[in-house]
Structure 1
Amino acid sequence: MQSSASYTIGIDFGSDSVRALLVDTRTGEEAATGVAYYPRWKEGAYCDAANNRFRQHPLDYTESMTRAVRDALAEAPAGAGDRVVALAVDTTGSTPVAVDASGTPLALLPEFAENPNAMFILWKDHTALEEAAEINRACRAAETDYSIYEGGIYSSEWFWAKLLHVLREDQAVADAAHSWVEHCDWVPFLLSGGDDVAKMKRSRCAAGHKALWHPEWGGLPPESFLTGLDSRLAGLRDRLFTETYTSDEVAGALAADWAERLGLPAGIPVSVGAFDAHMGAVGGEIRPFYLSKVMGTSTCDILVAPQDAVSAGQSVRGICGQVDGSVIPGMLGLEAGQSAFGDVFAWFARLVAWPLENILATSDAIDAATRDRLIADTRSAIIPKLSDAAAALPISTDVLALDWFNGRRTPDADQALKGAITGLNLGSDAPRVFRALVEATCFGARRIVERFIEEGIPVEGLIGLGGVAKKSPFVMQTMADVMNRPIQVARSEQTCALGAAMFAAVSAGVYPDVSAAMAKMGGGFDAEYAPDADRAAVYEGLYQRYLELGEQVERITHGRREDAAPAQPHERAMPEGAIK
């Protein structure tokens, strides 16, 4: 390792903003951070929440990334920018976009600048429900089930469903789209001056978990399967990719123009990209059979296992995929998650804030400056105050909620499902309902753990990462009580960006592999929540009622929409000794 200080930069693209983290490769010290929010997204541009459409303009990414990196370097030690030896990027996913042959997103072309279909389709966009249902039917009817290593159920949140929906909806985009790329693949390609999409290095993480890629059938599903879905897919496979790469590999060298824009040395390695939770698991020092929970607007739950821990051909049903090297090269990465977590709390905060936005905002009883400050202060205090009030309440056996407000990701992806709240009466106030929503998200998290165990994958511990894990003791204690397991919380507030910085250090040759980078650059843990035995006993009964409520909602939903019903996972007895 180098004797003088060197730095890497991890760039983490979230749903609302991008973070740039400057990390000392010798110690893992987080030397500086820059955060920039997406301006168009913040204004709600190109989105239609009522119809589950969430799109992001590529300029939001490039402009915000530039500001975040520049801001981080401005607060860094003198000369630190000159000692940056590599950078890496993580993004949300699946967040694909249509591109031309040069790899340029269509929204960056004048004729498509305001067309949402030419923009990145954010992970939580659910406009492709019908296409996902068709893909599931096709996979079940095919001689080879191409969804088997993605949990056996394909989601509307993923690559093929989204692009097929856009190709059907927008002929102009369909005609102009030479290929499609994930956000985590496009940014490294852009930064390294790529101008031929055929030469783009594609992420193993993104391809394996979201695009039905697997070595068993030679990469992507065959042309016959794709054209059987829709003739519009004819020829696209050849314009996509065959090979994929893990994130310890170099995607390219930082181009001179981007080096100047960002204030970094030209020619430094840019790592192959990956999804945020997968790099976040590395930043949170994941270890085999520990479930790493990145807890933000949604959750993404990551587990790694040695290759020999899962027998050849074994598939873990109902999760979001199992991919060799998607987290740590040389190990199997398994992904699960919840489509809404923090978003559930944010929804309730918006609900109770309705009078602020629609009554107080138009009142002339006070001056405009005081009114605006009062609205802003109240809005920011809603969730903390609700958390304090809910924490002071006893566990209610009356109010019960279901967390599927944005559909269900795991187990058994089904984005047609909806949330529910039951047991309300005239005494059900906001803190009681909020507590039920928190409990529901924790029940959903427990169901994920149980699915891994049912499928023969032990869960030996839990690691909490992300904004909710760091900022909400109430949620974390409830999680520990519902799970009846202790939960460690990673010290870093920026584990996704930290994980990216670790991958950058490997691609620069500072460390020989990811495990060595984690050992030297990891920040450890600064909190642990232990379950309370009395509360855990009460939650055991409530959890069973949660499962019953879920069954009722599924029956109601699919009584209306039989075509959307997912394939049901096979029954499998829980192995002895699976809980360790």
Structure 2
Amino acid sequence: MIYLIGIDIGTTNIKVLLLEAKSGKTVAIENKTYEIEIPEKGYAEYNPEKWYEDCCECLKRILKNTKVNPKDIKAIGLSGQMHGLISLDEAGKPVYPAILHCDTRSERQIIVIKEKIDDSIIREELNNSLYTGFLLPSLCWVYDERPQLYERIRYVMLPKDYINYRLTGNICTDYSDASATLAFDIKSGCWSKNVLNRLNISEGLFPEIKNSYDVVGTITERSAAETGLDMGTAVICGGGDAVMQSLGNGLIDSKYAIINIGTSGQVLFSSSKLIENPELNTNIFCGYQKDNWISMGAIMSAGACYKWVTNLISESDYKAFDEKIAQVPIGSNGLIFLPHLNGERTPYLDPTLRGALIGISLESGKKEIGRAVMEGVSFALMLCYEVCLGLGLDTETFIISGGGSKSTMWTQMFSDIFNKPVKVSEMTEQAAVGAAMCAGVGVGVYSDIQDAVDHIVNISEKTYYPSSIAHEEYMKYYELFKNAYISNKNILREIYNQWYYDARKNREIML
């Protein structure tokens, strides 16, 4: 048999998936969870060497438990959390911990970048808004705040690229991750000289760019000993997790669009042409190859909101809690939830925005609050969909994926709110699957991405259809949801700013 491996470097866990190539079936999955490091408020870091150690552990476990001969593994593909900065010195050692996508320390650098780079360059080359946690502003923070460390940097890359480097000794990235750095000219498909020159950053720090199915190199003697893989096994570039997850759900054309409910949430569309957005309130990234694009509206907290509230109210049986929530009518008995627990991207582009639960009364119980959270996340993603509609992006049917797709009630809610049929992805660990698909294409197991999709991706036959009555009822509360943001955005921002000021003052006193 021929096997493929997909590795996904997530925000809080690593997943390694073993796939049998001919049948397209997942044979085994191993994972390792970890906590991101928050040395100060607004920071989000991790030691990239620990990622590699965890990756090695998962690979060894999967080989031991399945007893698959490493020689039968044809290729390995990578997926990883996007945007984060990995900086290495000349010897290939980390200069500073990885600064992750959810890090917000670079607010001041964002202001400076806006002063130095014309709006026209941002719109025409980057095609994305400036936001904390992306590689470029994080690199600027190191430049400003840790100049001695910055002088040691020889290479910058993204999380999955570091694992590729450790496995093969070769440094590169792919178009999807490159386009999510804010240092990349999306139209021209290369690093932006206009941006880097204006910030006095050397283009030489940035790696070669490949398609997601291109070969990076092969497993070295050292990495073979560390992982249990066979020396000489091909390692394929892979891509950013949003793009790999889209592949794992079969999103390669306009037949479907995706609603993803992971820790964060996205509404994603694939296109063969660049969809420009002058407002820059969506993200537009390259797809699995040059001249392929993914447009998406993204919210920072989706499943994270549901996990937060269920932990808070001690509801661990999600299926039973769904049944309780289903007893509550649309509108959550007068509760509106703003799901901005960690800032927001589409459409507000505000890392300081925070959430709110509005309309609480003595009648508000656990199930009302639970439903309000579900509705608030759904409304926030409806806002994303509306922005995409304004760009000319639409679909006949949505595929829902991520942890939220396990809830039949939530899936029906999305169908009713979006007023579209919704199917559920039957794939598990779609980002790792997408990486394995690229691995298969890279070594010729599959002729192209479409062939990989045909072999591997399964979407449920069942379709959730919208109710016109429910849609009309939801739209009443959707308008209230939008007005709740308008009425409260300033006070929410002031609360954050005051708290942030007090937190810094208290920390300085303690020091």
- TM-score, normalization: structure 1? 0.79
| Matched position secondary structure for 1:244 | strand
Pairing 1:18–2:8 present = no
Q: Retained in 2: the 8 A contact 1:339–1:406?
A: yes
Task: Give the aligned residue type for 1:346.
Answer: K
* Residues 452/150 of structure 1: CA separation in 2 closer, same or farther (3 Å cut): farther
Residues 1:104 and 2:90 are matched in the alignment: no
**C-alpha distance in structure 1 between counterparts of 2:487 and 2:474, whole Å:** 20
Partner of 1:7: 3
Question: What's 2:260 paired with?
Answer: 294
- Name the structure 2 match of 1:360: none
Q: 1:516 to 1:399 in 2, by over 3 A?
A: same
RMSD: 2.6
Change (3 A) 1:398 1:248: same
Q: Which residue of the partner structure matches residue 415 of structure 1?
A: 351
Match of 1:449 in 2: 385
Structure 1 residue 6 displacement after superposition: 0.5
Q: How many correspondences in the alignment?
A: 495
5 Å-filtered alignment, 1:280-429, equals: 280-289=245-254, 290-307=256-273, 314-315=276-277, 317-324=279-286, 326-327=287-288, 330-352=291-313, 380-381=316-317, 383-396=318-331, 398-429=334-365
Separation of aligned partners in 2, 1:384 and 1:122: 32
1:154 to 1:488, Cα distance in 2 relative to 1, 3 A: same
What letter is aligned with 2:272?
Answer: P
Alpha-carbon deviations, 1:502-526, whole Å to 9, x = none? 1000111112211111111223336
Q: Summarize deviations over 1:371-390 as a string: whole Å, max 9, x none.
A: xxxxxxxx744x55543322
Contact 1:151 1:320 in 2 (8 A): no
Q: Deviations over 1:436-460 (max 9, x none)?
A: 1110100011111111111122233
1:75 counterpart = 2:27: no
Give the CA deviation at 1:535: 1.9
Greater fraction of residues in strand: 2
3-state secondary structure, aligned to 2:463? strand
**Residues 1:148 and 1:473: Cα distance change in structure 2 (over 3 Å):** farther
Alpha carbons 1:327, 1:333 under 8 Å: kept: no
2:77 counterpart residue number: 88
Per the TM alignment, residue 169 of structure 1 is displaced from its structure 2 partner at its CA by 2.7
Structure 1 residues 392 and 504, CA gap change in structure 2 (3 angstroms): same
Provide closer, same or farther for how the CA distance between residues 226 and 264 of structure 1 changes in structure 2, counting only shifts above 3 A: closer
So what's the TM-score if we normalise by structure 2?
Answer: 0.89
Q: Deviations over 1:527-563 (max 9, x none)?
A: 533223322211011111111112223344568999x
**Which residue does the alignment assign to 2:105?**
127
How do 1:202-213 residues align onto structure 2 when only pairs under 5 Å count? 202-213=173-184
1:574 corresponds in structure 2 to none
TM-aligned CA deviation for residue 213 of structure 1: 0.8
Do the aligned partners of 1:386 and 1:430 also contact (CA within 8 Å) in 2? no
1:47 counterpart = 2:38: yes
Tell me the equivalent position of 1:65. Answer: 55
Counterpart CA distance in 1 for 2:493 and 2:181 is 25
Once residues 249 and 137 of structure 1 are traced to their aligned partners in structure 2, the CA distance between those partners, rounded to angstroms, is 37
Shift of 1:301: 3.4
Which amino acid in 2 is paired with 1:47?
A: I
| Partner of residue 232 from structure 2, selected from 244, 267, 270 | 267
CA contact (8 A) 2:189 2:290 kept: no
Tell me by how many angstroms 1:488 deviates: 1.2
Residues 14, 33 of structure 2: 8 Å contact kept:
yes
The runs of at least 4 aligned residues of structure 1 exceeding 6 Å deviation read 558-562
Q: Are residue 249 (structure 1) and residue 179 (structure 2) matched?
A: no
Counterpart in the other structure of 1:567:
none
**Runs (5+) with no aligned partner, structure 2:** 498-511
Instruction: Name the CA shift for 1:277/1:387 in 2 (closer, same or farther; >3 Å).
Output: same
Q: How far has the Cα of 1:297 moved from its partner?
A: 0.7
8 A contact 1:277–1:301 mirrored in 2: no
Counterparts in 2 of 1:345 and 1:273: CA distance versus 1, 3 Å:
same
Secondary structure, aligned partner of 1:336: strand
- In the other structure, the counterpart of 1:515 is 450
Judged with a 3 Å threshold, the aligned counterparts in structure 2 of structure 1 residues 330 and 237 are, in CA distance, closer, same or farther, namely closer
Does the CA-based 8 Å contact 1:462-1:487 persist in structure 2?
Answer: yes
Work out the CA distance in 2 between the residues paired with 1:80 and 1:551: 59
Q: In structure 2, what is the equivalent of residue 27 of structure 1?
A: 23
The correspondence for 1:184, drawn from 157, 160, 164, is 160
Alpha carbons of structure 1 residues 552 and 303: separation in structure 2 relative to 1, 3 Å: same
The amino acid across from 2:93 in the alignment is T
Shift of the alpha carbon at 1:179?
A: 3.2
What's the secondary structure of 2:328's corresponding residue?
coil
Residue 462 and residue 80 in structure 1: after superposition, are their counterparts in 2 closer, same or farther (change >3 A)?
farther
DSSP 3-state at the match of 1:251: strand
CA positional deviation for 1:152:
4.4
